[in-house]
Structure formats: C-alpha cells, structure tokens
Chain A
Amino acid sequence: MKQYETVIGLEVHVELATKTKIFCSCSTAFGGAPNTHTCPVCTGMPGSLPVLNRQVVEYAVAVGLALNCSIARCCKFDRKNYFYPDNPQNYQISQLYLPICRDGGVEIETSAGPKVIGIHEIHMEEDAGKLTHDEWEDCSLVDYNRSGVPLIEIVSEPDLRSAEEVIACLEQLRTTIRYLGASDCKLQEGSMRADVNLSVREVGAKAYGTRTEMKNLNSFKAIVRAIEAERQRQIELLEEGKAIVQQTRRWDDNKEQSYPMRSKEDAQDYRYFPEPDLACVAVDDAWLERIKNRQPELRAQKLARYRTEYEIPEYDARLLTATKEMADVFEAASALCGKPKKVSNWLMVETMRLQKERGMEPEEIPFSPENLAKLVELTEAGTINSTVAKQVFEEMFSHDVDPQQYVAQKGLRTVSDEGALAECARQVIAQNPKSVEDYRGGKQKAIGFLVGQTMKAMKGKADPGIVNRLLKEFLEEE
C-alpha cells in the first residue's frame, strides 16, 4: 500500500465570555428555560436591527494579538445566507471579506518538537440557537437562548499532520484564550468547538487532496477518533480508485462513524454580501495600544520567567502555568511569603488532589493567595506541624479560612513546651512496654510507633522533632 500523509486544518469556534450577546443586550448565561434570554433581535423579528457589542471586538483583538495576527484597521460584517431553524433570520452575521485578524500563528510542542501552525484568520460571528429532537411527536424544538451568543472562529492553515498535533494545537489555543479571559473554552459545553478539515495525499505529493469537513466533535477523544476514522475512510476510497467528495460530515462518536450532513436542499451557496445594518469596525492605533496594554502575560512568557525568577523544576512550572488562575495564586502567594517552592508544593500536591476529588476545574482555586502564604509561613516557622498544616489546608480549601485565625481558634499550635511533651512521652513509654522492649532489643523502627502514639496523645500538635529526641533520651536512660 502507498504511504499517505494526513493534512489537517482546523476551524475552531470559541464562545466569548461576554455578559451579553453580540448584537443585543440579552444575557449569554447558560441554561435558562427555552427562549427566556431572547428579544426581537436574537429571534429575528421583522424590523429588528443588530448593534455590535464592543467587548466582542476587544476579545477578538486580544486573541488575535496573542496569536501574532495582524489586526485589520477596518473590518466589516457580512451575511451568510442559509435556511435552518436554529438561525432565526436565516442568515448568520459573520465576516468573510474583511475579518478582524489575519496571518498569525500558534506554537505547539509535540513529541517531534516545536512547530508553528499558521492562523489564516479570526473572524467574529453570532452563534445559532439550539435544536432538540422530540421523539414523541417526531419533530424538533427550537430554543434561541444561544442565538446571538458571540463567537470567534479561528481558522488555521492546513499545517497540521496528525491527531497529536491537532490536540496540541487545540490545547495551546485553549490555554491562550483562557489566559486572556476571552472564553472558558469548554468542549463538552460547546464553548469551544473544533471542525476538522482533513485530506490525505501520497507522501511527497505537492498538491492537496480533496478535503472533507468534520463537525460535531465534542471532546478531544472524539477528535482523535474522528481524525483516524476519516483518514482511513479517505485512504480506502483512494485505494479503491474512488474519488473523495468535498462535503461536510457529522461525527457520531457512539458509532465511531461519520455521515454526510447535507441534502440536495442545502445548496452550499451562502451568497455572502456586506451586512448593510452594521457599521465597519476600525481599530486605530490608540485602541490597539489600549488592548495591548491590558494583555496579560501569556503562558510561554510566564514559563520563561519562572525558569529564571523562581527556583522550581520545569515540571512544576508547566503545571503551575497551565491556567492563569493557578499561576496568579502561585505568584501572589510566593511574593507574600518568599517561599515559591513551598507554595508550588501546596498547589501541585494538595490543591490538585482536592480539585480532582471534588470534580473541580484546574482554574477553580477556592482560597486566596494571602491565606496560602500565611499557611506556608505557619509551617516554616514551626508554628504548626505538617499534619496540622494539611488539616488547616483542607479547611482553607473548603471555606477559605484565614490559617492564622483558624490555628489560634482551634488551638492547633505545635506544643514545643518540653515539660509537657516529656510528661506525655513518659506516659507513652509506660503504656507501651512491648514497643519499648522491641526498641531496646535493637528494633530501631519501633520508636516510630511511640512517636506516633505521643503525637496522637498531643492531638497532633507536638513538634515531631522534639518528641523524637525526648523519646530517644528516655529510652536510652533507663
């Protein structure tokens, strides 16, 4: 069999995190009862007119800048005409001729090393409503709550060659856009959707093959499966000497198969023309500058800085910068307590463990950096021991308590009064003759049990170093 190369381009739709829709003042909040977040504009009522949400432009430009795009000085909206019930006007307001961003790139890293994937353009557009299928009456129901939610569509160049690269590219886009606060980019909830344009060609061929567009990919896993299946399907067709039809296909992840999406009644002729109801968007130098100045430090910059600024391992730096929220807490807490490695440990071990246990997202950090810094200080000063510290941390994670106050209120300070500890240690020795005998018989490890018993008797608040020393002294002296 011939050797084939897969050529992939992505069209990534990202729902922007604005409060209101792109062309009207309806809420974009998720999950309202059907059609409650609607008005004449987003239900396509006759006579209604769109007015552009400024924040949509700001987010689109911010994403464009982060992806090294050139920003159009004057961009326009166009109408894309097609009939479908989720689209109340039967046209979508989008950008074809003059999109807001062009010619950028996103750097990815795979097992093969770093690579830049070209970004052809980014344009702004409106989302469609939601269709649900009612089996009882064999009909569909339309809800326009999502109609008019702002989207940007990021169109990559056909620079991707494997599912691994696709996933790396999507993850990089997601991290960047989340850093910007422009979207939460959740594939499952549809706030990030990727359509995959895929073709195959013989290795070494110059020309691209005929491509198909794959839709309805709701998870990274589905994307990987769909790419593999479509690659196989196209290769099989070519091997059989058949032509590949340029078409849009819909992925069914349960059946792990795709199907052509459109019928004869959907001529794919969108009759784009300039939207007469909207003005053009002119991003001048001053505005661009304001947006640039507001850009947060992105992950790549942060990583580079962490390497020199904090003495933490590369692995830690990567994990800590995976989300901006985590990185922000890390930096703020480190600055407050001056112990980045300790802060990093709390975030990478206990925080991530509890997030996972409680089904939380990596960006959900329920405590303040101030409190984390205080906790680090308490442990570093020996005011509490590590066992108590974990207990305090859980409380802080659950209720964002102030560790200093909490320790004081609950009387959790480590007891370093040797008199009290000595008394307790002697009692433990008296109550555990078996262990004492073992120790004296040469079993050094038996002291661990005695330390544990003493700590328990002290309700965990003892300084384990002192307890160890005292126990040893007492065991030796008798």
Chain B
Amino acid sequence: MELTALTAAALAEKIQKKELTAKAAVQACLQQMRRLEPELNSFVTIDEKGALAQAEEVQQKIDAGELTGPLAGVPIALKDNLCTEGLRTTCSSRMLEQFTPGYTAEAVRRLQKAGMIILGKTNMDEFAMGSTTETSYFGATKNPWNLAHVPGGSSGGSCAAVAAEECFLALGSDTGGSIRQPSAFCGVTGIKPTYGTVSRYGLIAYGSSLDQIGPIARDVMDCALLLDVIAGWDAKDSTSIRQDGAGGMPPGGYGFAEALRAEEAAGMVKCLQGLRIGIPRDYFGQGLDPEVKTSVLAAAQTLACLGAEVEEFHLGLVDYAIPAYYVIACAEASSNLARFDGVKYGHRAAAYEGLHQMYKRTRSEGFGPEVKRRIMLGAFVLSSGYYDAYYLKALRTKALIKQEFDKAFARYDLLLGPTAPTTAPRLGESLADPIQMYLGDVYTVAVNLAGLPSMSLSCGIDPAGLPIGLQLIADCFGESRLLRAAYALEQTRTERRCPLAQTEQPGAEQTIFAPAGPSDAGSEPAERSE
C-alpha cells in the first residue's frame, strides 16, 4: 500500500521502528502534491526545502531517542492563517500576499516541539470568511472527491489536502464551522475544540470570541493525537483555559488519544452503553438534503446499536444562530481587520494622496468582496445608534442559545446532527448569493456561539460520490466523550479512501478527472485496503 495512505499514528510508529524515515514521508507528500496540486490547489505555499530540512533534523532526534512522541516525524499542513516565522502567511488574501511573520503561532510551536514537519500553508477563504474556499485570492481549491465541487470552507485547503493525502494531518480554524463543514465535504475528520482549549496566539483573528484552532485528520485516533499536541493553556492567550481541575476543566493533561487506546484495549463491545445522545429535530427540517438525512440517521441507528440511548428532542432558537453569528463575527472582524492598513505590513496602494486615501485604496485593493461585505456590515452594526439594536441584541441572543444548549446537555451527553444541509456544492454555485451561502452554516455556527466542542466525521457518500458528514456536539470540555462516540462509530464504518489520492488504482485518474456532471455519480469510491 502507498505510504500516503497510512494514518499518522501508523506512520509515526513505523518511523519510530525505523521501518520508514521522516524524509520518506515528506517526499511522498511532496510527490502527491506535484501530482495533484495543479488541479486541486490545496496549498498557497509549499515549503519543500524547509520540510526536507525539518525531516532531517527530526530524524536525527528520533534516532537519538530524543523524540518519541506519537506524531514525531509526521508531515502536517497548516491553514494559511496560522503565523509561521519566516514562512509566508497570507490568509489567502492579496493584502498579505508578501507577508512573512516574525513569530510562530503557539499551536504551531507545539507541533514543532512534538517533532512534526510543516509542509506548507493551505488555501482558505480569504481571512476565513466563506464556506467554499472560493474567496481565496489564490483561486479556489477543488474538492478531491469531485473536482467540479468545492471542498467547503474556510479550511478547505487543509481538508482537501488531508483527503487527497498530500499530508497526513492538518490544522484548521473554526469560527462558524470552518473546520467541520469542509471536513464533512472532504470526507475527513475535524474537531472544533471547546473555546479556549487551543491557544489562539498567532492565529490571524477573524471573530476573536468564536475562533478556535483544531485538528483535521483522516480518522478519529489521528484527530485525538493531534488535539493532544496542540491543546493546553498558554500564557500568551488570555482566553485560553487553564487545566487546573477547577470549574469543570480537565485535570492534568488532556490525554485524549490515550483514553481512546484504553477503550480499544477494553474491546469496543457495547462501548457506548449509557451514553445519552440527543438528536435535535430542528436540525432535520426544511432545506436538509434527503441523502444527508438518511446517512446521519443511519449513523444514529448504529450508535444505538452500540448501546447509546438515542432520542429526538427539540433544541430551541436554531433559526437565530445565523443572524446572531453574523452580527458578532462581522463586528469583531471589522475591528480585527482594521490593522491591515498599509502602514506596518502587507499591501499598500501604489498611488494615493494623503493618509486617508492611502488607507482606503490599500484596503479596497487588498481585500476581496466577501471580506469587504463583512467588515462593512460589522462597522455598521457597531456604529453609533445601531450598537444596541444589533450588537447587544446578538450578544443577548448568544446568551439564550447557550442556555438552550445547557438545557440539552442536562439531558444528553452528546448531540448528533448533520454537519451541513447538503454535500459540497458545485464550484461557483454559492458565491452568487451570499445569504444563501450563510444559510449553509445553520448547523455549525451555534456551536461557536456557545463555545462548545464539536466534531465532524464522514458517514456516507452521496450519489455524486461526495462525502456526507455528521456532527457530534458535546458540552464544554466534553472532547473525550465526543472522541469516544466518534471512535466507536468509525469502527463500524467501511473506510473509504479518496479515489484521487490513489496512485495504484488503474483508471482512477480517468474517472476522477472526468468533467463534472450528474454522470460522475457513478464513480464508486474504492475501499481502503489494509
């Protein structure tokens, strides 16, 4: 089997056992990129030299027995809104086309400490604003399962790269679903952790009160391993949570992966006995694709078979999450993106008269339409006379939404629903109507407003060959529960490998590169052969 098809955990084990080298892993990824990038466009920047140098260094430390962690030597891709010292960080914006940070994000520093190898920076919606990765200044990323479709967004590049096996793992960021929705569209597994679990230091902010960095992987165990590496208190982020055991915070280290391994060792029979799972009826109403509905409900069935008590319930205020989210996120964004002004870094207009024209031209040239739309809306809702009616109203709504979740978690350990109402839309279909695009976030944004941990994993394939994702939601700090249920569910699933990733499938490329259309429904994805 191909090297790139290995899970990160398996790869790291082989590297520790000297069956493989970090360099070989990096080269396999680079090879895959060379083959796929011209079409896929998952990456904004590929750091080939840097990755090979890191591989060398990491390998030496592994050989010396200094690096023994479960992900040492594993190549990873980073969403391009995570600052990396010396490596261009663009947020997929013309504004930062030439920006090279002078420091590295805390989450990335933790990866480096764990001996992981950074391959490059992945494409995204400009400043994480969008749900399709089409608002990128560097062109859209395509969905590796069907190149006529979008990968979702805003972490579309990270999810596509993981699915297409250009990397083993990736980091994304999630403000209103930006990890979970593209994970669903690309058939990978992604977690938005509890707000405060991963330091935001070095994450270029979109909506500061909603942003969280999270792992993207091909399976649950890899996701847990990566979350273990990046989670933890950081003195540089005042909103990061201390693990001092007080106030419901987990004592000591998180140890997510270890818990799963223990679970596995104990045998997964009826492992979800006693787990109460609530299905918000409100997530299955109008607008939900029947295929998606069927797949998610089938997964619910499976969870019940594994011993979980599954029941439907009414989760209130579902319709209010999107308007509240857009008010809060855009307001914060209008302020967060004010720093891009042509003074300190980034684009500056070539011609201008005076300071204010410099600001206006710079920003008008540097930002794309979606970013402008959101920062204008944000400036408006904060402006004199509208603050109470919009911004405070949204914060009050947020409080009520949080209360709805509190009520739900008094009865259930987990909530289960679809990640998105449909599978990945076709390229170009969404941008025509922004509001329609915003409505696609209906299941994901409430989780950010309430700060909850949530996870998307694949639960099927639609007739067009596009993955379907389900979303599990836990109460704050309930990541272990989330992972346990996801892991159990994953064990029952037939693993599917993205056809595009496979080099050893004769005819695979032919099928995948066929022009998109209803006919491409026939491309039956191959099962992963171990």
Interface residues of A (CB under 8 A from B): 40, 43-52, 79, 81, 83, 85, 88-91, 142, 263, 265, 269, 271-273, 276-279
Contact = CB atoms under 8 A, between A and B. Distances in A.
A276 B448 CA distance: 14
A269 B379 CA distance: 10
B22 to A, nearest CB: 27
B338 interface: yes
Nearest to A86: B343
B169 interface: no
Given A43-B344, A85-B343, A263-B356, A49 B338 contact: no
Contacts of B359: 83
Contacts of B91: 46
The listed residue with most B CB atoms (<10 A of its CB), out of A83, A142, A269, A278, is: A83
B332 interface: yes
A85 B355 CA distance: 9
Nearest to A84: B355
A49 B338 CA distance: 15
A256 B131 CA distance: 58
A271 B238 contact: no
A273 B238 contact: no
Interface stretch (B44-52, B110-118, B204-212): B204-212
Contact of B238 (A40, A45, A46, A279): A279
The listed residue with most A CB atoms (<10 A of its CB), out of B101, B203, B339, is: B339
Given A40-B102, A272-B387, A273-B382, 11 more contacts: A43-B344, A46-B89, A46-B91, A46-B99, A46-B101, A47-B201, A81-B335, A88-B339, A90-B341, A263-B356, A279-B239
Contacts of A278: 238
B201 A49 contact: yes
A85 B338 CA distance: 11
B105 A49 contact: no
Contact of A51 (B209, B238, B343, B355): B238
B202 interface: yes
B338 A51 contact: no
Given A40-B103, A48-B201, A273 B341 contact: no
B382 A49 contact: no
A270 to B, nearest CB: 8
A46 B105 contact: no
Contacts of B204: 46-47
* Chain B: interface size category: 35 or more
Contact of A271 (B99, B239, B340, B383): B383
A344 to B, nearest CB: 50
B108 to A, nearest CB: 10
B339 A46 contact: yes
27 contacts: A44-B339, A45-B103, A45-B345, A46-B101, A46-B205, A47-B82, A47-B201, A47-B203, A47-B204, A49-B238, A50-B238, A51-B236, A51-B237, A81-B334, A81-B335, A83-B341, A83-B356, A85-B343, A88-B344, A90-B338, A90-B341, A91-B335, A269-B384, A276-B239, A277-B205, A277-B238, A277-B239
Interface string B45-84: 0000000000000000000000000000000000001110
Contacts of A44: 339, 344
Nearest to A264: B356
Given A47-B83, A49-B236, A81-B382, A277 B338 contact: no
A279 B82 CA distance: 23
B331 interface: yes
Given A271-B379, A276-B208, A52 B238 contact: yes
Contacts of A46: 83, 89, 91, 96, 99, 101, 204-205, 339-340, 345
Interface in B188-230: 200-205, 208-209
B85 to A, nearest CB: 10
B262 interface: no
Interface of B: 81-83, 89, 91, 96, 99, 101-103, 105, 200-205, 208-209, 235-239, 331-332, 334-335, 338-341, 343-345, 355-356, 359, 379, 382-384, 387, 391
A47 B334 CA distance: 15
A51 B355 CA distance: 31
B340 to A, nearest CB: 8
Contact of B338 (A47, A83, A269, A273): A83
B382 A271 contact: yes
Contacts of A265: 356
A49 B200 contact: yes
A109 to B, nearest CB: 40
A22 B205 CA distance: 21
A48 B355 CA distance: 25
A272 B384 CA distance: 9
Contacts of A51: 235-238
Contacts of B340: 46
A436 B335 CA distance: 92
Nearest to B210: A276
Given A277-B238, A277-B239, A47 B382 contact: no
Contact of A276 (B332, B338, B384): B332
Contacts of A88: 339, 343-344
A81 B335 CA distance: 7
B325 to A, nearest CB: 14
Contacts of A89: 338-339
A83 B91 CA distance: 22
A31 B102 CA distance: 24
Nearest to B237: A49
Contacts of B102: 40, 45
Nearest to B208: A276
A52 B340 CA distance: 24
A51 B238 CA distance: 6
A278 B238 CA distance: 6
- By Cβ-Cβ distance, the 3 closest A-B pairs, closest first, are A90-B338, A271-B382, A276-B209
Given A45-B102, A46-B96, A85-B355, A79 B335 contact: yes
A89 B345 CA distance: 12
A255 to B, nearest CB: 24
Contact of B205 (A47, A83, A90, A271): A47
A391 to B, nearest CB: 56
Given A88-B344, A142-B343, A277-B208, A271 B387 contact: yes
A52 B239 CA distance: 12
The listed residue with most B CB atoms (<10 A of its CB), out of A46, A85, A89, A91, is: A46
A100 B341 CA distance: 32
Nearest to A81: B335
B86 to A, nearest CB: 14
Contacts of A79: 335
Contacts of B238: 49-52, 277-279
Nearest to A90: B338
A220 to B, nearest CB: 32
Given A45-B103, A47-B101, A90-B341, A273 B391 contact: yes
Contacts of B383: 269, 271
Given A45-B102, A50-B238, A83-B359, A273 B339 contact: no
Given A49-B200, A81-B382, A279-B238, A271 B105 contact: no
A286 to B, nearest CB: 18
Contacts of B379: 271
A273 B102 CA distance: 29
A232 B234 CA distance: 56
